[in-house]
Amino acid sequence: MTARRIDETAPGSLPAARFGVRLAGVAVAMPAGTAMEFVADAAIYPLPLAPARVAGLMQLRGYPLVVLDASLNPQAGGGTTRHDVLVLGQPPQAAALLVDDPPQALPDGAWRAAGGAPPDCAFASALQAGSAGVSQAGARPGGEVPIAERARGVERWHEIDPAQLFDALMRS
Amino acid sequence: MAPRSFARSLRLGVSVLAAVPLAVAAIAAVLAWLIGRDALDPAQAVRIVTVVLMLAALLALGGFAYGRRLARSASEPIERIQATLEALSDGDLDARVRWRGRDEFAGLADSLDRLLDDRVASLNRTIRESEELNDSVIEIMKAVGTIASTKDLSVRVPVTENVTGAIADALNLLTEETGRVLRNVAALSNDVAQATFAVRGQSDLAIQAAAREQREVGLAAGELAQAAQALVTVAQRAHQVNESAARAAVETGAAVRVVGATVHGIVQSRELIRETEKRIKRLGERSQEIGQVVGIIQAIAERTGILALNASMQAATAGEAGRSFAVVADEVKRLSESARESATRIARLVNAIQTGAHETVRAMNEAITQVVEISRMADDAGQAMRRTQHETDSLVANVREIAATADEQARTSSALQARADVIREASAETTRQLRAQSIETRRLVEYARSLVDEVSVFRTEKP
């Protein structure tokens, strides 16, 4: 492996403005200022008599966190499960979401904002609200994805505000 | 009446005649002694002598008369016997002595008469039997004459009770047996004629066969000559084969040694392959350990990537202040991705190594199996070569014997050729003899027919 100096590897590169993650199959883009932490294979302990949206509890550096399931029909788990989760916020004021895969940085120009909420989405209200309230400075205008970008793998992301996301999930 | 014995009378007369002189002599001697002793005077002596002489004379006269009577009693019967015998000799079989008396001559005459009676009766009986015998013989002669003239063996001779009865019976038996024998002779003659005819046919066939045999013997002699030449060639070839077989035995011995060395080399190769297999297995185990280490590296890279992601998110949270940290986080992320890719390539390589090692081990196991099989086959080949060597040695010995036998056969074939010539000559002689035999057989047929004709003259009873 060739050792490269940091200043040589990313000269003039900016921090990512968004971080994309898939929640119940929906690609959402969260602003980079949100406190987030990805935990792989986190042990989730089911919580009896909890709402269906609550997948269970997990612990992060000694802090118990509530784990929410953003899928349309959450499955009530019988026992302890392991799943990738994204922690939003700073413990102990933080909550976790079940994610399909690790988050990825979305540099400006490398992603497009999706218009409208996909059907059968548990947090559709958050997406509509996010589309209205969140700035789309880094995203390209909506519409059809150009052929060249489609060839490069440019993907559409739904911008979302984490607070509205939690509100939508808790109301669903 | 007591019989008078002529012999006793004769002995008595002789005794008396002998006693007279003795008594005279004794008296004379007594007188002489008395005179010598003077006891008697001569006159007395003369008187005594006179008396004695007179007595002697009386005795002499009495003896003469007695002798004459005795002689007559002996001569008369003798004359009668002589006359009787003379009459008998003249053919008077009725002549008899017929002397009556009480002496021995009467007994003799009586015995002679009884003897003559017996003899005459016997003679008459003999004559009568002789006549009967003559009649029987005449009958036999007539019957034999009939048989001889008519050749009829069924004729029988009359059987009488005399001695010719046995002869007639024997003749009848003889004619009967002769008839039976003649019948058998006739049958046998027919058989002989047929057999002779068959023999003549067979003789003709034998002549033809002998001719063929002579021809075949000639051909066989020629073929034997060719065979002798061929056997000479075979003997030469056998000698050449013997030399080739000897060379083959030497080459087989060298091949056995080479196969033995090959088997030794194969065994060493098998051990080497087994050692290599062990080392490759150990290499596979090491590569498995490497795979485990690669797994750890991949996990570390994964966690490093997550760490870089979280760092980049934290840097983004920090805003402009976290820009440098974001660069470091991005570099860490790249490092983790590079490490993960390298670990993935290493894992693929390790898997390829493990797969290759496994395939190599399997191939080496197959190679060992094949080497074992080849070793076994080489061992079998070595044993087969040793057997071949043994067989080749045996072949050499056999070929040597074949060469010697071929020489012997060539000599024998030459001798056979000479014998074939002798056989050909003998066959020609056989043909000649068979032709002569055929001629004699024809004669024999004629003889048999003649014999049948001769035998058929006799008439015999039907069997």
Chain A residues close to B330, C-beta within 8 Å: 9-10, 13
| pLDDT value of residue A66 | 94
User: What whole-number distance in Å separates Cα of residue B108 and Cα of residue B114?
Assistant: 10
Greater pLDDT, B389 or B80: B80
Work out the average pLDDT over B234-263.
81
Of B306, B322, B335, which is closest to A102 when you measure between CB atoms? B306
pLDDT tens by residue, A77-125: 678 899 999 999 988 889 999 999 999 888 888 788 887 788 888 888 8
Domain range list for chain B: 6-98, 181-456
Residue A15 has pLDDT above 70, yes or no: no
Which of B32-41, B123-132, B216-225, B398-407 shows the highest mean pLDDT?
Answer: B123-132
| pLDDT value of residue A67 | 94
In chain B, what is the straight-line distance between the N-terminal and C-terminal CA atoms, in Å? 79
Percentage above 70 pLDDT, chain B? 99
A16/B342 CB distance under 8 A? no
Contacts of B137 (CB under 8 A, 6+ apart): B164
Long-range contacts of B396-405 (CB under 8 A, 24+ apart): B396/B242, B396/B245, B396/B246, B396/B248, B396/B249, B399/B238, B399/B241, B399/B242, B399/B245, B400/B242, B402/B238, B402/B241, B402/B242, B403/B235, B403/B238, B403/B239, B403/B241, B403/B242
Separation in Å, CA of B312 to nearest CA in chain A: 8
Residue A73 has pLDDT above 90, yes or no: no
Task: Output the average pLDDT for chain B.
Answer: 82
Separation in Å, CA of B317 to nearest CA in chain A: 4
Greater pLDDT, A84 or A132: A84
| Placement of tokens 């039976």 in the chain | B180
Which stretches of B1-126 are assigned E, i.e. beta strand? none
Q: What phi and psi values does residue B140 have, to the nearest 5 degrees?
A: -65, -45
Of A13, A32, A103, which is closest to B309 when you measure between CB atoms? A103
- Residues A130, A141: contact at Cβ < 8 Å? no
8-state DSSP, A140: B
B327/A16 CB distance under 8 A? no
The pTM score is 0.43
User: What whole-number distance in Å separates Cα of residue B379 and Cα of residue B266?
Assistant: 10
| Structural domains of chain A in order of their starting residue, each with its CATH number | 34-103+159-172 (2.40.50.180)
Chain B residues close to A84, C-beta within 8 Å: none
Chain B residues close to A6, C-beta within 8 Å: 324, 327-328, 331
Separation in Å, CA of A48 to nearest CA in chain B: 31
Report the half-sphere exposure of B132 (CA within 13 A, side-chain side).
13
Of A6, A16, A37, which is closest to B331 when you measure between CB atoms? A6
Work out the average pLDDT over B327-350.
86
Q: Which residue of B has its CA nearest to A85?
A: B306
Of B305, B306, B317, which is closest to A33 when you measure between CB atoms? B317
Helix axes of B104-150 and B42-89: crossing angle, nearest 10 degrees: 20
Chain A residues close to B326, C-beta within 8 Å: 15-16
Q: Is B227 helix (H, G, I), strand (E, B) or coil?
A: helix
- Residues A57, A64: contact at Cβ < 8 Å? yes
Residue B177 has pLDDT above 70, yes or no: yes
User: What whole-number distance in Å separates Cα of residue A158 and Cα of residue A170?
Assistant: 19
Residue A8 has pLDDT above 80, yes or no: no
Residue A138 has pLDDT above 60, yes or no: no
CATH level 2 (architecture), domain B181-456: Orthogonal Bundle (1.10)
Of B305, B317, B338, which is closest to A34 when you measure between CB atoms? B317
Chain B residues close to A7, C-beta within 8 Å: 327
Q: How confident is the model at residue B250 (pLDDT cuts 50, 70, 90)?
A: confident
- Residues B275, B391: contact at Cβ < 8 Å? no
Greater pLDDT, B417 or B440: B440
Greater pLDDT, B163 or B275: B275
- Residues B147, B153: contact at Cβ < 8 Å? yes
A33/B319 CB distance under 8 A? yes
Greater pLDDT, A123 or B230: A123
